[in-house]
């Protein structure tokens, strides 16, 4: 790795933090209903939405009612997306006359986009019409992201409020997150992406002449190529800002119509982490402790940056399996990577997209070296808390903070406290469910897939790499990431159904316990700090929190990783003569 690579990474994270601080404070003002320029401009639209929906902005609910509203809304959204896909052939904006989507693919896709996972078991340009992409998938990109933000804001209210039975209104939180945060940012980013060449049109395709005519298998000369088009920029903007990740095209952000230039690549990379990073400062502002926002951000960076370096270093080292072929690997392992991005940016994207539950790709993770592929896989398996999805990363890390504080309280023999709220067995049980349920879904799903011969055959690569493809798929689904190792054929009935179930488990069996914790904390009074209170706004707490996340991740997944990328790396090292 050169000094230029280190400078590129340093500039990326520095600009990210500089942009996240004011955005985080703005988001806090949005959810607290404070007056500002945005509210003066968009306030009439917000009030009009409430009148049409019959909602009172000042009417709040308990956490159970909040959860019921959230689940009902998401269920309706999933059914809507499913029906759009099934009846796609009869709906407008279908210039290529694509038929309705198969039931299992429609189920998998509806669940995927509703849960903010965006796992794709289909090729976008050959499966989904313009209408399905816009009215179904893009709409859910907004609403699933806004749902995650609403849950994070509710948990922040739980810490901030004192002795109250209400946690807010889901409908108000959903509206404000979409109207004041996601829509303006998406419009701005979409405009920038169009300026870089990302397509935005209702045309179905364009026919171009080949610079070098080719001969097909039957011996006929091919002189033209049909390029699929569509309303791409509008979907790409929210797919990145909302940590959704689903691509308009099959090759996702490696496609030149989604990500044509190094500058568009930088913009999309920045968009992936922008809101998750900003929500740290939103939390600090809402609990009236800005230092806690910096502590959460420092924890996320401490988890992500070392794995960025690991991935980049191993990819720059080249692929040991190709050494004997005499290939020039001076630029690193370039298999599966776009030349216009190179090794450094591809490694940064691979780790950022898996750290954030975004899941979009600008290179193929299946072609990474074993340790290069381990880095993004383990970032997913850590629970998507560094930086995690929009909202989900924040509330996931706060659940780890609850456990870290509880462990520290046991060590000193005192009732644990976090932000003035005493943490009891109830909060620990809920936090444990948040962490353990997705992990169980990953391991159980992987074991089932490996035990069924026909299902295991969907991973054509033999040995540990095939196992890594299966493990990555279930890790991605259960943690709502959506990326894949790409060698796995996940379009069969078992994977579409099993991964769909894992997405539901990883989303809603986490959200409900988080809301339960928010309701429990909101009912509690604030306890003044004492001499025995553990400070949670110091670098020492960052160390404790990072250690907790890593310990849980290691105990849960290191045995499985040892069967996949770790043993594959050792086999490569032995073949290259690196291990006696």
Direct distance between the N- and C-terminal alpha carbons of the chain, in angstroms, rounded to an integer? 27
Gap between the Cα atoms of 337 and 365, Å rounded: 9
189 exposure class (CB count in 10 Å sphere: 0-12, 13-18, 19+): buried
Strand partners, 205: 228
Question: Cβ neighbours of residue 7 under 8 Å, at least 6 residues apart?
Answer: none
- The helix/strand/coil state of 523 is coil
Residue 361's closest CA among 241, 245, 474, 263?
245
How does pLDDT run along the chain (580 residues), one tens digit per residue? 788 889 999 999 999 999 999 999 999 999 998 877 888 889 899 999 999 999 998 899 999 999 999 999 999 999 999 999 999 999 999 998 999 999 999 999 999 999 999 999 888 888 999 999 999 999 999 999 999 999 999 999 999 999 899 999 999 999 999 999 999 999 999 999 999 999 999 988 888 888 888 888 888 888 888 888 999 999 999 999 999 998 899 889 999 999 999 999 999 999 999 999 999 999 999 999 999 999 999 999 999 999 999 999 999 888 776 766 667 777 788 888 999 998 999 999 999 999 999 989 999 988 898 899 999 999 999 989 989 999 999 999 999 999 999 888 877 777 788 988 999 899 999 999 999 999 999 999 999 999 988 888 888 787 898 899 999 999 999 999 989 887 888 888 899 999 999 999 999 999 999 999 999 999 999 888 777 778 888 999 999 999 999 999 888 999 999 999 999 888 876 666 554 4
- Residue 138 is classified by DSSP as I
Q: Any alpha helices (H) in 231-289, and if so which ranges?
A: 232-241, 262-286
Q: How far is CA 76 from CA 143, 182, 260, 492, in A?
A: 12, 21, 36, 25
Phi, psi of 361 (to 5 degrees): -135, 145
Q: Which residue is associated with the tokens 């749902």?
A: 147
Phi, psi of 414 (to 5 degrees): -130, 155
Give the count of beta carbons closer than 10 Å to the beta carbon of residue 287: 21
Its pTM stands at 0.93
Q: Which two structure tokens, joined as six digits, stand for 381?
A: 């398996």
Gap between the Cα atoms of 320 and 314, Å rounded: 10
| Per-residue pLDDT at 456 | 82
Residue 471's closest CA among 497, 496, 492, 499?
499
Q: Which two structure tokens, joined as six digits, stand for 294?
A: 């910096």
Gap between the Cα atoms of 290 and 20, Å rounded: 13
| Per-residue pLDDT at 577 | 58
Gap between the Cα atoms of 115 and 475, Å rounded: 15
How many angstroms separate the most distant Cα atoms in the chain? 83
Q: How far is CA 539 from CA 95, 297, 410, 414, 553, in A?
A: 57, 12, 20, 21, 21
| Per-residue pLDDT at 220 | 86
Question: Cβ neighbours of residue 567 under 8 Å, at least 6 residues apart?
Answer: 464
Gap between the Cα atoms of 344 and 324, Å rounded: 24
Gap between the Cα atoms of 74 and 70, Å rounded: 6
Q: Which two structure tokens, joined as six digits, stand for 195?
A: 């300026």
Q: Which two structure tokens, joined as six digits, stand for 260?
A: 């044509």
- Residue 137 is classified by DSSP as I
| 3-state secondary structure labels for all residues of 287-327 | CCCHHHHHHHHHHHHHHHHHHHHHHHHHHHCCCHHHHHHCC
């Amino acid at each position: 790795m050169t000094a230029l690579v280190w400078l590129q990474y340093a500039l990326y994270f520095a600009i990210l933090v500089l942009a996240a601080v004011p955005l985080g404070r703005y988001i806090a003002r949005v959810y607290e209903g404070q007056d500002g320029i945005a509210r003066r401009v968009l306030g009439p639209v917000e009030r009009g939405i409430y009148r049409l929906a019959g909602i009172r902005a000042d009417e709040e609910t308990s956490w159970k009612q909040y959860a019921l509203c959230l689940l009902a809304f998401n269920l309706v959204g999933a059914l809507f997306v499913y029906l759009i896909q099934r009846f796609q052939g009869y709906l407008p904006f279908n210039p290529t006359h694509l038929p309705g989507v198969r039931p299992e693919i429609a189920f998998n896709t509806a669940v995927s986009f509703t849960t903010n996972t965006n796992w794709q078991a289909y090729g976008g340009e050959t499966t989904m019409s313009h209408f399905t992409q816009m009215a179904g998938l893009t709409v859910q990109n907004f609403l699933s992201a806004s749902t995650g933000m609403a849950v994070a804001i509710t948990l922040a209210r739980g810490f901030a409020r004192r002795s109250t039975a209400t946690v807010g209104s889901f409908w108000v939180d959903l509206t404000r997150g979409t109207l004041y945060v996601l829509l303006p940012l998406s419009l701005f980013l979409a405009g920038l992406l169009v300026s870089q060449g990302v397509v935005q049109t209702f045309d179905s395709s364009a026919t171009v002449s080949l610079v070098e005519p080719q001969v097909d298998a039957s011996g006929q000369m091919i002189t033209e190529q049909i390029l699929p088009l569509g309303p791409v920029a509008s979907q790409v903007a929210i797919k990145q800002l909302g940590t959704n990740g689903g691509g308009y095209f099959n090759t996702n952000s490696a496609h030149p119509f989604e990500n044509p230039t190094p500058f568009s690549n930088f913009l999309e990379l920045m968009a992936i982490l922008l809101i998750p990073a900003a929500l740290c400062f939103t939390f600090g502002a809402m609990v009236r402790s800005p230092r806690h926002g910096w502590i959460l951000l420092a924890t996320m960076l401490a988890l992500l940056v070392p794995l960025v370096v690991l991935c980049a270093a191993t990819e720059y080292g080249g692929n040991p399996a190709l050494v004997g072929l005499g290939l020039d690997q001076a630029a690193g392992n370039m298999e599966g990577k776009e030349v216009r991005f190179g090794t450094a940016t591809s490694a940064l994207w691979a780790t950022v997209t898996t750290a954030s539950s975004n899941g979009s790709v600008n290179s193929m993770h299946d072609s990474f070296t074993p340790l290069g592929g381990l880095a993004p896989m383990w970032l997913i398996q850590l629970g998507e808390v560094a930086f995690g999805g929009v909202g989900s990363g924040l509330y996931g890390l706060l659940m780890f903070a609850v456990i870290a504080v509880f462990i520290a309280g046991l060590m000193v023999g005192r009732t644990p406290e976090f932000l003035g709220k005493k943490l009891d067995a109830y909060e620990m049980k809920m936090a444990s469910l948040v962490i353990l349920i997705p992990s169980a879904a990953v391991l159980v799903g992987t074991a089932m897939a490996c035990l069924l011969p026909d299902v295991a055959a969907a991973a054509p690569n033999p040995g540990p790499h095939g196992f890594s493809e299966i493990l990555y798929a279930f890790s991605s689904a259960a943690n709502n990431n959506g990326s894949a190792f790409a060698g796995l054929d996940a379009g069969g009935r078992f994977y579409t159904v099993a991964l769909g179930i894992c997405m539901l488990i990883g989303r809603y069996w986490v959200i409900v316990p988080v809301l339960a914790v928010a309701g429990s904390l909101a009912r509690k009074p604030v306890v003044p700090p004492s001499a025995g209170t553990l400070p949670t706004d110091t670098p020492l707490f960052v160390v404790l929190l990072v250690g907790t996340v890593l310990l849980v991740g290691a105990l849960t997944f290191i045995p499985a990783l040892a069967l996949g990328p770790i043993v594959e790396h050792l086999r490569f090292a032995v073949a290259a003569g690196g291990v006696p």
